[in-house]
Amino acid sequence: MSEHLLSWIVFLPAIGALLCLFVPKRQVRTVALLATVLTLLLSLKLFGTFTGGGGDSSAVFGTRYGQLHHVERATWIQIPGKLNIEYFLGIDGLGFPLFILTTVVSFLACWASWNFHEWKINKGVRAYFVLFLLLETGMLGVFVSLDFFLFYIFWEVMLLPMYFLIGVWGGPRREYAAIKFFLFTLAGSVLMLVALVAMYFYGGAGIEQAGGTIASGYRQGVQLTHGTFDLIELAVNPVIQRHFAAVSTTFLGMKFAPLMFMMLFIGFAIKLPSVPVHTWLPDAHVEAPTPISMILAGVLLKMGGYGFLRLCYPIFPSGGSTWAFFLAVVGVVSILYGALCAMAQSDFKKLVAYSSVSHMGYVLLGIAVMTDVGFQGAMFQMIAHGISSPMCFFLVGVIYERAHHREINRFGGLWLTMPRYGTMATIGFFASLGLPGLCGFIGEVWVVLGTFAAAKNPAMPWAYTMAILASSAVILTAGYILWLIRRVYLGKEREEHEGFPDASRRETWILVPMAVLCIALGVLPQQMVFNFTNGTLNLMLNLVTGAPAMVG
Amino acid sequence: MDGILGEVSLWSGVDVGRELSLFSPMLALSATMLAIVACPLILGRGPRMIATVSVLGVLVTLVLTMQVGRAVAGGGASGLSTTPEAGLLIADNLSVAFLLVLCVFLLGVMLLWWIGSAETERNAPEFFILLIGSALGMALMVSTANLLMIVAAIETASLPSYAIVGFDKRDRKGAEASLKYMVFGAVCAAIMLYGVSLLYGLAGSLSVQDIARYAVAQLGGGENRLLLAAALVCFVAGVAFKISAVPFHFWCPDAFEGAKIEVTTWLSVASKAAGLILLARMVVIFSGAVSSPLAMHILDPLAWAMGIMAAVTCTVGNFAAYRQTSVKRLLAYSSIAHAGYMLMAAAAFLHPASLGAESGLAALIAYVVVYVFMNLGAFGVTAMVAWDTGGDGIENFNGLMRRAPWLAVPMVFCLMSLIGMPIFAGFVAKWWILVALGNVGHTLGWTLTVVLALNTLFSLYFYMRIVVQMTLRDDGRPMVRASSGGIALVNFCGLALLVLFFFADPFKQATDRFSRNLVGPKAAKTATSLLGPSSESSASSR
């Protein structure tokens, strides 16, 4: 099992889904929960790999980008001498924290689905859990597959389950929200598909120009004779990199690297989501059932950021500097616009959804400035948001189940009615606000610091302005969250809420791990996140900043 | 002997026994038709009896095709002639591949008929004669490189198709569809005949090899090149009619909607596939006729012409499908779009930069195979729903996931595959076309790549409309009853789509094998190898 650890973790939910098809209807949720628990426990084994090395980070993360663990490689589809698609899994500091985040959030979301039989639409319990588990397999696969083709397959595998989970078990406008989600994401996917084909053949053309056979950029004794889908190879191979970055390399008359960067960027920005392609998110979040909102916010949005860090920057570093200003602007606009929209909402869930847009704007800004602190902040922000926003969505779900509406202005005094729930809610929303000592703070501060640091770079004279705008957005965030807490949790107890029971034992135990993580990440950022990510991120940044600019 | 048959000196020096065995599948199909004629005289006109005879005939054809496949695996044969190039009929891997697909598909269509129409059909012998007659025509279409034979084969395929579309005399819609189909077909056939006669007049031969050689010489700057181009366009019009490429697609939705659903299923795949394989063979021969790399550039405009036709065809098909409310009609437009995708593969290997012309051809074969399962499954479910509820309107699919989960699940699989989503074979099929286009590179290849990718996005919405009806909407209609045979058929198709995805590698090897050792492209091989080292020209222009 240990030599195929990643495969086991990735496909364990799929095996669970298969089992769900055959067990009696009453047992389906038990099987599903067991599958997610087992996946979580197995994934915790990975900590052993990343805490080893006795404090020497290069022992774990290597000295160059491309040090992988638990690698599995097998040829999948091959045309000898022409094309080689591999089943290639591996994990490094980039995928690891997000991988763990996925297993944690999936487990909690599955547990949050435990009361499925009490839902308004409680038909098709079997289909629900089967799709849920297939979705988990797709998500886990994305974070560990390092063959672009395989990555694309897992990326697409997530789409259909998500479509049905929103469309069948969602709110009143579920049909619209589901198709909108599908259309937006597929629009990104087809751009990625074009890039997938183009990168393969342009890589092959580069190798051909270099004499037809070149040494692999990171694997000893491996020769390349044709293009590759290996995401690490594409990033570290000097021959391929030179060909990609050459000014004379054009795609339909446009310079290759900036164009490919942009195509991939749009695909991932839709997922992230950034303004102006964020419009699917409020709809999808509002209509999706609570556990699915948790998955959407906790994991799916992170795939956008992961895509930037895994594909866009290492493979097309020159694209990153070409578009840096544009990306930073998009990031800052997302931060401000998301926050302003959140402030204007009267629907509780929509407010949380727009706050996600705002928070993910920090991720984009942190990556766009290409400094080590910025990258680290972006990564941390993804993890922090991956914990705090599922928590917020679950909090909304808990109250929605009792009140059957989400009008912020109709709530009030809930802390008095439901003290345990109110306490948890305060932790969750303060974490989202970015209160020092909670997880949201570190990410935002790191991103802002990274942006200030980028001002030293002569190519980024605008960095100060961006940093000031981004840090001033904290006021907006504090504004809408504090106002929300005042309207919902504080104030006089209301009669209509009298009969509301406090958070049940199950609800409490779903909230507690997230609350604990919110605090732990805020207090021990180094031990909880940075130790696992910085090694790979710094190596990748060296690769990105050390890469030749566009060459003639 | 300068007759219309060129150098064919009948029978002298021909190993008749061997040659007849190479074309035994066609003979078997003809024999099946005769058997169906004889059957009512001996065994009676019972529909199931006739169907059994037909199925047996097709099974025999399948076995014979496999035998031929073994015989020609290492190299094709051009038959019934002493000179290997001038033969009227060809047996090689490409024709065998198509015949195998054709037979399997024919069996599927017959099964569909058995389930839906066997009870009520009073004219079974006539129906099966027409069905197998058109199959024979399609088999001939892919097995020839002779203009006379091409015309005869297309007509053999078309005439029974016209009749079978309007088979139910009392159905006014079917009669109208049949008439439209026939009028359109007749015009296209006339245009093609005009082109063919011009080509014969110009080149002085009916062999496509000779014409290709002549055309290559002329297009490089000969005095007849305008006339020749006009003749080629006229000829392609006839083939494009069979493929239903835009702008020769107008018959398609009407004929598909008016015909019985088994017939629609049949025409949607077989007639298009036959036309595409025929076109592919022409392309192989044309690119093979270019003997020097210097002359390769004359293929460029031809590739562009075909590429533009492909791009327009799939875009028009996808957008026209948006407004449809009948699933049959929607699938008709979808089949136009898919013909466009397949044409892209043809355009890819017509392009001079296509290193190793097989990749486009193999992609085409793979697409046809996958398309058989996608369409048989989708039309099968539509048929089952239409027979039980009395219509194929999209509203009849309402709540199908509850009313008949064993129909709805394979339908979702087939529709996802038609969109081109992983984990279904439709993605693999599209993927190989994308690889073929990427192989071409240049402006043409990448433009078509982008067009294909965007069309995937365009097509999402109308396929999803059916999925939405089946899964998200439910106004409490009664359960759908479907026969177990039909359920088995559509689930088999759905399963096949999954299997072909996960076993993409062996599937690719098989299609590669069927795209090699063809009759004609010997010159193409040399042209390719000449082009191989000079590929820096393609790399530098990237």
Q: Where are the alpha helices (DSSP H) in A66-219?
A: 95-112, 125-144, 148-157, 159-169, 174-209
Which residue matches tokens 């800004």? A365
Note the pLDDT of residue B291: 65
Mean pLDDT score, B242-267:
90
Q: How far apart are CA B250 and CA B241, in angstroms?
A: 9
Q: How far apart are CA B91 and CA B100, in angstroms?
A: 13
Pairing between β-strand A69-79 and β-strand A83-91 as defined by DSSP bridges: antiparallel
A347-351, B292-296, B444-448, B525-529: which range is least confident on average?
B525-529
3-state secondary structure of A230: strand
Q: Mark yes or no for CB contact B536/A160 under 8 Å.
A: no
Note the pLDDT of residue B2: 44
Cβ atoms within 10 Å, residue B292: 10
Note the pLDDT of residue B265: 93
ipTM: 0.91
Reference B222, options B145, B231, B281; nearest CA is B231
Q: How far apart are CA A376 and CA A367, in angstroms?
A: 9
* DSSP structural state of residue B392: -
* DSSP structural state of residue B488: H
Residue B385 backbone class (left: φ over 0; alpha: ψ -120 to 50; beta: rest): alpha
Q: Mark yes or no for CB contact A197/B504 under 8 Å.
A: no
Q: What are residue B78's DSSP bridge partners?
A: B90
Q: DSSP assignment of A373-421, as one string?
A: HHHHHHHHHHHHHHHHHHHHHHHHHHHHHHHS--BGGG---HHHHSHHH
Which residue matches tokens 């097989």? B358
Q: What are phi and psi of A73, to 5 degrees?
A: -130, 130
Q: Mark yes or no for CB contact A179/B468 under 8 Å.
A: yes
Q: Residue B506 contacts by C-beta under 8 Å, 6 or more apart in sequence? A: none
Cβ atoms within 10 Å, residue A206: 25
Q: Reply yes or no on whether the pLDDT at B223 is more than 90.
A: no
User: What is the maximum span of chain B, computed from C-alpha positions, in angstroms?
Assistant: 74
Rounded to a whole number of angstroms, the CA Rg of chain A reads 23
Reference B383, options B264, B468, B258; nearest CA is B264
Q: How far apart are CA B88 and CA B78, in angstroms?
A: 7
Reference A425, options A518, A299, A286, A360; nearest CA is A518
Residue A308 token pair = 């930037």
Burial A357-384 (b: 16+ CB within 10 A, else e): bbbbbbbbbbbbbbbbbbbbbbbbbbbb
Please, is A101 exposed, middle or buried when counting C-beta atoms within 10 Å of its C-beta (0-12, 13-18, 19+)?
buried
Q: Reply yes or no on whether the pLDDT at B234 is more than 80.
A: yes
Residue A258 token pair = 């900036």
Q: Which amino acid, one-letter code, is at B60?
A: V
Q: How far apart are CA B383 and CA B396, in angstroms?
A: 11
Of B423, B437, B536, the CB nearest to A209: B536
Q: Residue A224 contacts by C-beta under 8 Å, 6 or more apart in sequence? A: A207, A213, A214, A215, A216, A233, A237
User: What tens digit of pLDDT does each residue of B162-190 get?
Assistant: 999 988 888 888 899 999 999 999 999 99
Note the pLDDT of residue B531: 34
The CA distances from residue A435 to A224, A524, B192, B354, in Å, are 51, 14, 77, 60
Residue B126 token pair = 């006539």
User: What tens digit of pLDDT does each residue of B333-349 get?
Assistant: 999 999 999 999 888 88
Residues of chain A with Cβ-Cβ distance to B422 below 8 Å are: 152-153, 156-157
Residues of chain B with Cβ-Cβ distance to A182 below 8 Å are: 460, 464
Cβ atoms within 10 Å, residue B220: 13
Band (B317; pLDDT cuts 50, 70, 90): very high
Residue B201 token pair = 């007049």
| Helix (H) / strand (E) containing B525 | helix B522-531
Q: What are phi and psi of A145, to 5 degrees?
A: -85, 130
Note the pLDDT of residue A122: 81
Q: Residue A2 contacts by C-beta under 8 Å, 6 or more apart in sequence? A: A45
Which residue matches tokens 């800052």? A332
Torsion angle of C-alpha atoms B290, B293, B298, B299, degrees rounded to 10: 70
Q: How far apart are CA A391 and CA A515, in angstroms?
A: 8
Q: How far apart are CA B3 and CA A297, in angstroms?
A: 76
Note the pLDDT of residue B81: 59
Q: Reply yes or no on whether the pLDDT at B530 is more than 50.
A: no
Q: List the end-to-end C-alpha distance of chain B, in Å, as a whole number.
A: 51
Note the pLDDT of residue B67: 92
Q: Where are the alpha helices (DSSP H) in B322-357?
A: 327-350
Mark out chain A residues that contact chain B at CB-CB < 8 A. Answer: 75-79, 82-83, 152-153, 156-157, 159-160, 164, 167-168, 174-175, 178-179, 182-183, 186-187, 190-191, 193-194, 197-198, 200-202, 205, 208-209, 248-253
Reference B440, options B310, B537, B341, B348; nearest CA is B348
Closest CA in chain A for residue B445: A252
Which residue matches tokens 């109110």? A422
Residue B402 token pair = 């509850």
Q: Mark yes or no for CB contact B416/A186 under 8 Å.
A: no
Q: Reply yes or no on whether the pLDDT at B527 is more than 60.
A: no
3-state secondary structure of A529: helix
Cβ atoms within 10 Å, residue B247: 11
Note the pLDDT of residue A124: 86
Q: List the end-to-end C-alpha distance of chain A, in Å, as a whole number.
A: 49
Residue A277 token pair = 């392609």
Residue B42 token pair = 């001996």
Per the CB < 8 A criterion, the answer to whether B433 and B368 are in contact is no
Q: Mark yes or no for CB contact A249/B472 under 8 Å.
A: no
Q: How far apart are CA B247 and CA B236, in angstroms?
A: 12
Residues of chain B with Cβ-Cβ distance to A175 below 8 Å are: 468, 472-473
Q: How far apart are CA A316 and CA A261, in angstroms?
A: 6
Reference B32, options B162, B109, B130; nearest CA is B130
Q: How far apart are CA B234 and CA B148, in angstroms?
A: 15
Which residue matches tokens 């696969």? A141
User: What tens digit of pLDDT does each residue of B127-139 get?
Assistant: 999 999 999 999 9
Choose the mutation target among B457, B507, B515 for the interface with A, i.e. most A CBs under 10 Å.
B457
Note the pLDDT of residue B85: 58
Q: Reply yes or no on whether the pLDDT at B385 is more than 60.
A: yes
**pLDDT profile of chain A (552 residues), mean per 10:** 86 95 91 95 90 71 85 88 88 92 95 89 89 95 95 93 92 91 93 94 90 85 88 90 88 91 94 91 92 93 94 91 93 95 92 94 93 92 94 93 88 88 92 90 93 88 92 92 91 83 90 94 88 86 73 46
Q: Reply yes or no on whether the pLDDT at B522 is more than 70.
A: no
Residue A344 token pair = 């204007």
Please, is A2 exposed, middle or buried when counting C-beta atoms within 10 Å of its C-beta (0-12, 13-18, 19+)?
exposed
Per the CB < 8 A criterion, the answer to whether B361 and B94 are in contact is yes
Q: DSSP assignment of A309-365, as one string?
A: IIIIHHH-HHHHHHTHHHHHHHHHHHHHHHHHHHHH--BHHHHHHHHHHHHHHHHHH
Of B423, B437, B504, the CB nearest to A77: B504
| Number of Cβ pairs < 8 A linking chain A and chain B | 89
Q: DSSP assignment of A257-273, as one string?
A: HHHHHHHHHHHHHHHTT
Please, is A501 exposed, middle or buried when counting C-beta atoms within 10 Å of its C-beta (0-12, 13-18, 19+)?
exposed
Q: Residue A509 contacts by C-beta under 8 Å, 6 or more apart in sequence? A: A111
3-state secondary structure of B326: strand
Q: Residue A78 contacts by C-beta under 8 Å, 6 or more apart in sequence? A: A84, A85, B505
Q: Mark yes or no for CB contact B461/A183 under 8 Å.
A: yes
Q: Mark yes or no for CB contact B422/A156 under 8 Å.
A: yes
Note the pLDDT of residue B1: 39
Q: Reply yes or no on whether the pLDDT at B370 is more than 60.
A: yes
